[in-house]
Amino acid sequence: MIPSIESLAGFITGAGVVLLIAFLYFKKGKKERRFDERYQEVHEKARTVSWSITLITLMLMWVGALIFEGPKLAYLLLSSAYGVMLISYGVGAMIYNKRI
2-49 pLDDT per residue, tens: 668 888 888 899 999 999 999 998 888 877 777 778 777 887 888 888
* Cβ partners under 8 Å of residue 84, min gap 6: 53, 54, 57
- Quick one: pLDDT at residue 18? 93
Check: CB of residue 65 under 8 Å from CB of residue 73.
yes
For the chain, give every domain's residue range: 1-34, 36-100
Residue in 86, 4, 1 with CA at minimum distance from that of residue 46: 86
- Quick one: pLDDT at residue 13? 94
Taking all residues of the chain, what is their mean pLDDT, rounded to a whole number?
81
Check: CB of residue 96 under 8 Å from CB of residue 42.
yes
